[in-house]
Amino acid sequence: MPVDRLDRRLSVAPMMDWTDRHCRYFLRQFSPTALLYTEMVVARALVHGDRHRLLAFSAAEQPLALQLGGSDPRELAMAARLGEDFGYLEINLNVGCPSDRVQGGQFGACLMDHPALVADCVAAIRQAVSLPVTVKTRIGIDDREDEQFLEAFVRPVAEAGCATFIIHARKAILSGLTPKQNREIPPLNHERACWLKARFPGLEVILNGGLVGAGDIRPFRSRLDGFMIGRAAYHDPWVLSALHRELIDPDFAAPECDDIVARMAEYAGSRLAEGVPLRAITRHMLGMMNGRPGARAWRRLLSESAAQPGADGKLLQQALRAVEAASY
């Protein structure tokens, strides 16, 4: 197994329809080293589709991991090799998504019921690439959420070469709940991730699920290897800066709003020249001013005005001036 030097103390979860390349570039402004993940990319679509559209990213997004969805070892190996060629630093296998569409493709959380197949997938990916191969999973599915079920899944997958497990500390209900409800209704059990680390001390265990700020993380810092933040970082990206200071560098100074806006305006100019609409970028920035005077004007300009013909990066500066004017 290749030496894995990736720092996973702080990471941002893969989130469908959210963590695209524009979102990741924006979030990178708030933490220089947090490990960022792509949206889940279906291995079959990557192998047979537009790989540049699916995999392209800006160098500033690094460190960056590719999450794949699939259950065919050969397809996953081919997709992982493409990810390595594009410059990703980790291949992550999705064994946590509970959506009907994903289950219909025979991957996601339903794979917890097939640990031997997941082990085969991990082994195939490891043979294809020199990158670390990780698995993001739940603590259980449906009525199977005891420690024995989790151990029976983790053990063969670890033996196949997966040294890092990202544990979403809720079970997945495979029928009857929407993906959103599966993030809210099954109760959190952070202690189960701690149990897994104690049971397999040689594994790297990263906690995900229900983490909002430093207060949620501190009780587990000495017991786990890292923490993955999801929607909390998307809705309030300053959370990333606070957690970078908490987990990585106590002297870290959060960036200034005008610096972020200047960099994002420059980035928008580059992407607009490639045909990307401004709204595709600004939709990820709506939460940047939450809780501040002028937040409503910021959101309105970045959502409504960004969709107007001819809108460009100058709109970001205009929105920032609206926020500053509301502060006086």
Q: Is 257 a catalytic residue?
A: no
Tell me the pLDDT of the chain (328 aa) as tens digits.
456 889 999 999 999 999 999 999 999 999 999 999 999 999 999 999 999 999 999 999 999 999 999 999 999 999 999 999 999 999 999 999 887 776 666 789 999 999 999 999 999 999 999 999 999 999 999 999 999 999 999 999 999 999 999 999 999 999 888 888 888 889 999 999 999 999 999 999 999 999 999 999 999 999 999 999 999 999 999 999 999 999 999 999 999 999 999 999 999 999 999 999 999 999 999 999 999 999 999 999 999 999 999 999 999 999 999 999 987 6
Res 3: pLDDT: 62
CATH 1.20.120.1460, the chain: domain bounds: 257-326
Class of domain 10-247 as given by CATH: alpha beta
133: left (phi > 0), else alpha (psi -120 to 50), else beta? beta
Alpha-carbon span 120 to 157, nearest angstrom = 8
Q: Token pair of 19, please?
A: 């963590």
Alpha-carbon span 320 to 322, nearest angstrom = 5
Q: Token pair of 132, please?
A: 């670390």
In percent, the amount of the chain with pLDDT more than 70 equals 97
Alpha-carbon span 202 to 198, nearest angstrom = 9
pLDDT tens, position by position, 20-74: 999 999 999 999 999 999 999 999 999 999 999 999 999 999 999 999 999 999 9
Q: Does domain 257-326 have CATH number 1.20.120.1460?
A: yes
The pTM of this model reads 0.95
- For 306, the 3-state DSSP assignment is helix
Report the candidate in 321, 315, 317, 288 with the shortest Cα–Cα distance to residue 302: 315
One of 23, 97, 110, 162 is an active-site residue; which one? Answer: 97
Cis peptide, bond prior to residue 309, ω within 30 of zero? no
Alpha-carbon span 266 to 277, nearest angstrom = 14
CATH 3.20.20.70, the chain: domain bounds: 10-247
Element (H, E) at 12: strand 10-12
Alpha-carbon Rg for the chain in angstroms: 20
